[in-house]
Amino acid sequence: MSWLPKSPKARRRLTLIAAIAPVLALAAGLTLWGLSDSISFFYTPSQAEAAKPEPGRSIQLGGLVAAGSVVKHPDGRVEFTVTDQKASDRVSFQGDLPDLFREGQGIVAIGSFRADGGFEAKRVLAKHDERYMPREVEKALKEQGEWYGDGQRPEHKGGAGGYGQ
């Protein structure tokens, strides 16, 4: 007993499907493989510590700029620490920082880790007004209990209006 249909029309359709399916599967596989290098994952410093992304792999590192950590070098390079209150990563960036970049500010640095463990940023994004925090950073900080929303800092929590003098 044969598993092929008896109708010649049905056999033709089955043969056509059997010929097209592997070609489509191969095309989809090659597309996904080709795009894998352009995918950029978002990590907070503690997530990056746990995931240990390979050096050179493009990622987005988000968190708060640690107070007292910004060092500007004469050659235009800037080094600072990004923290999520559980872990910290040292970031090096060559170029102009956004106007709103400052200590205590939520940022997202796009780049990759070096073999020595430092993070080399190609681009730095800062929030654009007093209440905006990148969604990924806000979500990660909320999960850790470190985000208080509406531009408030932990030392202002519970204060009148939420902003200190």
Per-residue pLDDT band for 27 (boundaries 50, 70, 90) equals: very high
Tokens of 123: 């681009």
> Is position 55 within any domain?
yes
Q: Indicate if 73 and 26 belong to the same structural domain.
A: no
What pLDDT is stored for residue 120 in this prediction?
95
Q: Indicate if 46 and 33 belong to the same structural domain.
A: no
> Is position 164 within any domain?
no
Q: How many domains does the chain have?
A: 2
Reported as a single tens digit per residue, the pLDDT across 121-152 is 999 998 655 555 667 777 777 777 766 555 55
What pLDDT is stored for residue 92 in this prediction?
95
What pLDDT is stored for residue 134 in this prediction?
67
What pLDDT is stored for residue 131 in this prediction?
57
Phi and psi, residue 155, nearest 5°: -70, -15
Q: What is the radius of gyration, based on Cα positions, of the chain?
A: 25
Asked if 116 contacts 92 with a C-beta cutoff of 8 angstroms, the reply is: no
Q: Indicate if 18 and 68 belong to the same structural domain.
A: no
The Cα–Cα gap between 126 and 132 comes to: 9
The Cα–Cα gap between 35 and 53 comes to: 17
Q: Indicate if 29 and 102 belong to the same structural domain.
A: no
Q: Indicate if 24 and 44 belong to the same structural domain.
A: no
Q: Indicate if 93 and 126 belong to the same structural domain.
A: yes
Q: Indicate if 69 and 114 belong to the same structural domain.
A: yes
What pLDDT is stored for residue 37 in this prediction?
67
Is residue 160 over pLDDT 50?
A: no
Helix (H, G, I), strand (E, B) or coil at 148: coil
Q: Indicate if 111 and 67 belong to the same structural domain.
A: yes
Mean predicted confidence (pLDDT) in 84-92: 91
Residue whose C-alpha is closest to residue 108's, from 36, 38, 42, 27: 42
The CATH number given to whatever domain includes residue 48 is 2.40.50.140
DSSP string covering 51-117, please?
Answer: H-PPTT--EEEEEEEPTT--EE-TTSEEEEEEE-SS-EEEEEEESPPPTT--TT-EEEEEEEE-TTS
Least confident of 17-21, 32-36, 50-54, 97-101: 32-36
Q: Indicate if 106 and 32 belong to the same structural domain.
A: no
Residue 54 belongs to domain spanning: 40-152
Half-sphere exposure for 140 (CA within 13 Å, toward CB): 24
What pLDDT is stored for residue 128 in this prediction?
59
